[in-house]
DNA sequence: CTCCCTTTTTTACGTATGTAAATATTGGCG
DNA sequence: CGCCAATATTTACATACGTAAAAAAGGGAG
C-alpha cells in the first residue's frame, strides 16, 4: 500500500508526536506505557510502515530473545519432526529461532556455532553429527552459553544437559515383543557412525542375553561410500537372502530407514514380512519415521517421542537461560519409546 | 582452552597493538591490509578468543551479507532437498542464510517476512504456502527487497521473478509415456490447495486432449480435515477400487506422496502396479521424492531438478542484489522434469 | 488551587562496529 | 639523505536503538 515508510524510531517519534524512549518502551512491552498513549501510538503506527531494526534492537539488550538450533541433516524426516517441535515450542515462548543445518559437515557445524556466539543467542540446542564432529565445538558452546544436546550424545560428552530417547527401554521393548511372538531377532546395524545406533545395538545385545538368546549383529561394515540408510539396509539383507540365510528369521533394524530398505530386499526375494505368519519372516524398525504407516507392508516399529523431546529441550534451555536452577547438575531427560504394531512384524 | 576472552574490537586493538579501524578492515577483507600487518594480527588472534559481534557488524554496513529463505513445510523431503540446495549455493557465495519455516501457517509466514525486513537481509527467497497465504506478504517483500519465488507461484503473482519446474513439460512427459506404453492414465489430484497441483492437473488435461484421449480427474474432494498426502492418495484409490473401478487402469498421481498412498491402497486390494504387465494396472507420480527408489514397487515418476532450482534461485537473487540487470523484467526460469522409469509404471 | 504521584519528555550516554578524512608512519628508490 | 607512494593510525562521526536520570507535564485528591 502507499503508506509512508519510516526507517528509524527517531523519525517515528517525530511523525506521531511521542518521544523516542517512550516508543522504545512501547515496542518492548506496551504495558509499560499508559493505555491512552498506547492508543495514540497504535493509531500512528496504522498510518505508516515501520519495522524496528533487528540489529539495533539486540545490540544493547541484555537478552537477544534468540536461540540457536543445529541439526545434522535436513533430508531426514526424523530431524525435521524434531526441529518442528523445537521451533513451535520456542515460538510459543516468544523466542526467535535461528536454525542451522550441518549438512553432514563438521566444518559447517563449527561455523554455525561461531555464528551463534557472534549473535549473542540466549542459548543453543544441538543435535550433533556422528563421530565426525569436532567435539571442541560442543565444549565451546557449553562453556559460553546455556547449552542442551538433543537426540544423540557423544560418549565423551557426559557432563552436558541432554534430551533424547531411552534406547535401552525402546530397543528392549521391541526385542521383547519380537521374542515373545516369534523368533528372536537378528540386528541389522550400520557402520559405526552414529551414537544412537551404537546404543541400540548394545541394548539389543543386553536384552537378548537377558532373555537367554544369542544376539547376532549384521551390517556393521560399510557397503558403499556415500551410502544412504535405505540402500544400506537393502544391500545387507539382500546379501544375506542371496546366500540363503535369514529367510525364516526376524530382523530388527537399527532404524526405520534401514528397515524400509530391508523390506525392499525381502520383497525382491519374494518374501513378505508380516506378523500374521506366526514365527515367520518379520522386519521391524526404530523411530516411527513418518512414512512407516504408508509403505508395504506398513512397518512395525518403536516410536521416539520427538514432540516430547523437542518441548523438553526448549523448556530445559529456558530454565538454564533464566538461571534459576537449584543446582547446576546436568539434567539427562530420556523419554520412553512406544511400540507401534503394524503389519511387518 | 584457557585463551583469554576478548569481547570487543577495541580491547583486541589494545591487546595486539593494531588500531581498531585496521582490524575492522582486516575482518572484512584481509587483502585490504598489508601482509605484514595481517601476519601480526593473525598471530595475535591465535593468542586470544575473539568473535566480532554479529549485530554491530551489520548495523552500519550497506550490505548485511544475509539472505532470508522461507519454506512452507519441513516435513516434506521435497522442500528439504530444495532448501539444502539453496543453503549450499548461498554458502558458496559467502552468504549467511536465515531459514524460516511457515509451518503451514500464513501468520508465521508473515512474521518471517517481517523478520527479514527488520534484519535488512540483502534479499529473500520464498517457496510460498498454498492458497492460504496472504499474498500481501509477498508483495511487501517484493516491494522492499530483491525477491525471488521458488517452487510454486500464486497465479495472481505474475510480475515476480520465479524459479520452478515446467509442469506442462514434466507432466506432459509422463502422460505421454503412460499413453505410449499402455492405457491412458486417470489423474489422482488433491484438494485445490496447491498451485503446482493445479498446474499439473491442467497439463494432464491438455496433454490427454492433445493425444486424443478423454481426461479423468479424481480426488479433488477433501477426504479428512488434517489430511496428509499419503493418506489422501490411499483413501481416494481405495474408494475407487472398492467400488470395482480402476483395477485395470493407469493412475498418474499429482505427486509422489499421493502415489505412495495409492500404491498402498492397491497392494491391500491385491493389486501390484507394474510396467512389466503390458497395459495393466500402473501407478506413477511426480517429483522424484527421495524414497521413490526404495518402496515396493519402486515408483516411476518424473523428477523435478531441485538442485538446479535451488542454484538458479540463489544466482538470480544475487544478480538482483548486485543490481546490474540490463532490464528489470522479471525472469521466469522453468526447469524440465526428467522421466525416472522404475517398477510401478 | 495546590500538592503529590504517575507518566512522559528531555538529555545524555551506552552498545560494537563501519567508514571517511586527515594525519602520521613506513619502505623503497633515486 | 630525502622524497614519494603506500599503508597505518588518529580522530570523528555514523548506525538505530536501549537505558538511566533528571526535568517537565499531567491528573486526581485534598
| pLDDT tens per residue, range A163-211 | 999 999 999 999 999 999 888 999 999 877 778 988 999 999 999 999 9
Task: State the nearest residue by CA to the C1' of C8.
Answer: A22
Would the CB atoms of B99 and A99 count as touching at under 8 Å? yes
Closest residue in A to B98 (Cα–Cα): A98
Predicted confidence at residue A109, as pLDDT, reads: 95
**HSE-CB for A288 with a 13 A CA cutoff:** 19
Interface test with B, best of A27, A51, A141, A228 (most B CBs within 10 A): A51
Q: Hey, are the CB atoms on A291 and B230 less than 8 Å from each other? A: yes
Dihedral sign from CA coordinates of B54, B59, B62, B63: positive
**Nearest CB to A263; choose among B51, B74, B296:** B296
Look at residue A53 and tell me whether its pLDDT is greater than 90: yes
pLDDT surpassing 80 at residue A247:
no
Q: Are residues A226 and A328 in the same domain?
A: no
Residue A269 within any structural domain of the chain: yes
- All residues of chain B having their beta carbon less than 8 Å from the beta carbon of residue A53 are 59, 118, 120
Whether residue B1 is contained in a domain is answered as no
Domain check: are A149 and A243 in the same one? no
Contacts of A133 (CB under 8 A, 6+ apart): A106, A109, A154
Tell whether A125 is covered by a domain.
Answer: yes
- For residue A35, the model assigns a pLDDT of 85
Q: Bin A314: left if φ > 0, else alpha if -120 < ψ < 50, else beta.
A: alpha
Residues of B whose CB is below 8 A from A108: 91
- Domain for residue A344, yes or no? no
Contact at CB, B88 and A96, closer than 8 angstroms: no
DSSP A232: H
What Å distances lie between residue B57 and A119, B31, B42, CA to CA?
A: 10, 18, 19
What's the pLDDT score for residue B279? 59
Of B residues 20-39, those with CB within 7 angstroms of nucleic strand C are 20-21, 23-25, 27-28
Residue A22: nearest nucleotide (C-alpha to C1'): C8
Search chain A and give the residue with CA nearest B69: A99
Question: What interhelical angle do A256-268 and A229-242 show, nearest 10?
Answer: 40
Cell 516434506 sits at which residue?
Answer: B76
CA dist., res. B112 & res. A133, Å (int): 31
- Number of helices and strands (H, E) in chain A? 12, 12
Q: How does residue A342 score in pLDDT terms, banded at 50, 70 and 90?
A: very high
Residues A197 and A277 in one domain: yes
Statement: the CB of B10 is under 7 Å from strand C: yes
Question: Cell 537399527 sits at which residue?
Answer: A254
Residues of A in contact with B86 (CB under 8 A): none
Q: How far apart are CA A343 and CA B242, in angstroms?
A: 21
B84 and B156 part of one domain:
yes
Q: Specify burial of residue A24 (Cβ count, 10 A radius: 0-12, 13-18, 19+).
A: middle
Q: Which residues of B touch A293 (CB under 8 A)?
A: 230
Listed range (A56-70, A94-108, A264-278, A328-342) with the worst mean pLDDT: A264-278
Q: Cβ of A59 < 7 Å from strand C?
A: yes
> Which residues have C-beta within 8 Å of that of residue B149, sequence separation ≥ 6?
B125, B126, B127, B128, B138, B157, B160, B161, B162, B163, B164
Nucleotide closest to residue B41 (CA–C1'):
D8
Do A286 and A218 have their domain in common? yes
Mean of all residue pLDDT scores within chain A: 90
Q: Is A39 among the domain residues?
A: yes
Nearest to B72 by CA among B196, B171, B234, B170: B196
pLDDT of residue B60: 87
Tell me the CA–C1' distance in angstroms for A202 and D21: 64
Residue ranges of E strands in chain A: 66-71, 96-101, 123-126, 147-150, 161-165, 185-188, 217-218, 250-253, 282-284, 301-303, 332-335, 338-340
B97 and B194 in a single domain? The answer is: no
Same-domain pairing of A177 and A245: yes
- Chain B positions touching A74 (Cβ under 8 A) are 80-81, 83-84, 87
**Strand extents, DSSP E, A199-307:** 217-218, 250-253, 282-284, 301-303
Q: State the total domains in chain A.
A: 3
Query: How distant is the Cα of A206 from the closest Cα of chain B, in angstroms?
Result: 31
Same domain, B44 and B99: no
Asked whether the beta carbons of residue B295 and residue A264 sit closer than 8 angstroms, the reply is yes
Which candidate, A298, A315, A292, places its Cα nearest to that of A78?
A292
- Would you say the C-beta of B65 is within 7 Å of strand C? no
Which DSSP symbol is given to A149? E
C-alpha cell at A122: 540466549
Distance CA B14, CA A66 (A): 31
Q: How far is B179 from chain A (nearest CA, A)?
A: 27
Of B72, B66, B142, B132, the C-alpha closest to B100 is B72
Q: What is the pLDDT of residue A226?
A: 59
Q: What is the mean pLDDT of residues A131-140?
A: 84
User: Does residue A181 belong to any structural domain of this protein?
Assistant: yes
> B86 and B181: one domain?
no
| Total Cβ atoms within 10 A of residue A276 | 9
B116 CA → D2 C1’, Å:
57
Question: Which residues surround strand D, with CB < 7 Å?
Answer: A 7-10, 20-21, 23-25, 27-28, 52-53, 56-57, 59-62; B 17-22, 32-34, 36-37, 56, 59-60
Considering the domain architecture, whether residues A299 and A172 belong to the same structural domain is answered as yes
| CB neighbours of residue A51 within 10 Å | 17
Strand C contacts in A 36-55 (CB under 7 A): 36-37
Same domain, A214 and A232: yes
3-state secondary structure chain B: CCCCECCCHHHHHHHHCCCHHHHHHHHHCHHHCCHHHHHHHHHHHHHCECCCCHHHHHHCCCCCCEEEEEECCCCCHHHHHHHHHHHHHHHHCCCEEEEEECCCCHHHHHHHHHHHHHCCCCEEEECCCCCCCCHHHHHHHHHHCCEEEECCCCCCCCCCEEEEECHHHHHHHHHHHHHHHCCCEEEECCCCCCHHHHHHHHHHHHHHHHCCCCCCEECCCCCCCCCCHHHHHHHHHHHHHHCCCCCCCEEEECCHHHHHHHHHHHHHCCCCCCCCCCCCCEEECCECCCCHHHCCCCCEEEECCHHHHHHHHHHHHHHHHHCCCCCCCCCEEEECCEEECCCCC
Answer whether residue B343 is part of any domain.
no
Q: Residue B273 and residue B280: Cα distance in Å, rounded?
A: 8
pLDDT by position in tens, chain B (length 345): 578 889 899 989 988 888 898 899 899 888 888 888 888 888 889 989 999 999 999 998 888 999 999 999 999 999 999 999 999 999 999 999 999 999 989 999 999 999 999 999 999 999 998 777 778 899 999 999 999 999 999 888 888 999 999 999 999 999 999 999 888 999 999 877 778 988 999 999 999 999 999 999 988 877 665 568 899 999 999 999 888 887 778 999 999 999 999 999 998 898 888 876 555 789 999 999 999 999 989 999 999 999 999 999 999 999 999 887 767 789 999 999 999 999 999
Domain containing B17 equals 9-52
CA distance B41 to chain A (A): 19
List the single best residue of B294, B299, B307 to mutate versus A (max A Cβ within 10 A): B294
Q: How far is B112 from chain A (nearest CA, A)?
A: 10
| CATH at B234 | 3.40.50.2300
Measured in angstroms, the CA of B313 and the nearest CA of chain A are apart by 19
Structural domain includes residue A3: no
Question: Which residue in A6, A49, A50, A54 has the most chain B C-beta atoms within 10 A of its own C-beta, making it the best mutation to test that interface?
Answer: A54
Sequence-ordered list of residues with C-beta below 8 angstroms from that of B122, at least 6 positions apart, any chain: B63, B64, B65, B66, B67, B95, B145, B146, B321
> Do A70 and A41 fall into the same domain?
no
User: How far: B22 CA to D2 C1' (Å)?
Assistant: 29
Amino acid at each position: 500500500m502507499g503508506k509512508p515508510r519510516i526507517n528509524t524510531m527517531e523519525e517515528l517519534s517525530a511523525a506521531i508526536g511521542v518521544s523516542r524512549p517512550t516508543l522504545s518502551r512501547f515496542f518492548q512491552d506496551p504495558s509499560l506505557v499508559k493505555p491512552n498513549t498506547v492508543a495514540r501510538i497504535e493509531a500512528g503506527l496504522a498510518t505508516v510502515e515501520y519495522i524496528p531494526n533487528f540489529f539495533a534492537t539486540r545490540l544493547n539488550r541484555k537478552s537477544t530473545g534468540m536461540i540457536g538450533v543445529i541439526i545434522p541433516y535436513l533430508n531426514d524426516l526424523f530431524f525435521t519432526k524434531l526441529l518442528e517441535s523445537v521451533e513451535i515450542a520456542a515460538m510459543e515462548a516468544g523466542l526467535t529461532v535461528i536454525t542451522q543445518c550441518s549438512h553432514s559437515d563438521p566444518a559447517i557445524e563449527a561455523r554455525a556455532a561461531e555464528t551463534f556466539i557472534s549473535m549473542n543467542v540466549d542459548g543453543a540446542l544441538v543435535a550433533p553429527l556422528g563421530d565426525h564432529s569436532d567435539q571442541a565445538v560442543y565444549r565451546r558452546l557449553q562453556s559460553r552459553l546455556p547449552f542442551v544436546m538433543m537426540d544423540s550424545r557423544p560418549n565423551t560428552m557426559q557432563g552436558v544437559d541432554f534430551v533424547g530417547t531411552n534406547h535401552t527401554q525402546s530397543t528392549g521393548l521391541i526385542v521383547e515383543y519380537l521374542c515373545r511372538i516369534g523368533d528372536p531377532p537378528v540386528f541389522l546395524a550400520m557402520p559405526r557412525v552414529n551414537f544412537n545406533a551404537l546404543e541400540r545395538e548394545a541394548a539389543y545385545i543386553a536384552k537378548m542375553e537377558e532373555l537367554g538368546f544369542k544376539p547376532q549383529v549384521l551390517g556393521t561394515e560399510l557397503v558403499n561410500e556415500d551410502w544412504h540408510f535405505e540402500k544400506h539396509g537393502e544391500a545387507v539383507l539382500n546379501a544375506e537372502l542371496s546366500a540363503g540365510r535369514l529367510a525364516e528369521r526376524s530382523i530388527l533394524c537399527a532404524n526405520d530407514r534401514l528397515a524400509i530398505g530391508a523390506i525392499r530386499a525381502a520383497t525382491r526375494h519374494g518374501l513378505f514380512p508380516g506378523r500374521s505368519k506366526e514365527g515367520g519372516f518379520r522386519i521391524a524398525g526404530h523411530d516411527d519415521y513418518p512414512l512407516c504407516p504408508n509403505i508395504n507392508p506398513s512397518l512395525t516399529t518403536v516410536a521416539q517421542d520427538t514432540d516430547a523431546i523437542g518441548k523438553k529441550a526448549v523448556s530445559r534451555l529456558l530454565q538454564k537461560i533464566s538461571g534459576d536452577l537449584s543446582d547446576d547438575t546436568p539434567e539427562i531427560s530420556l523419554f520412553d519409546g512406544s511400540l507401534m504394531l503394524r503389519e511387518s512384524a
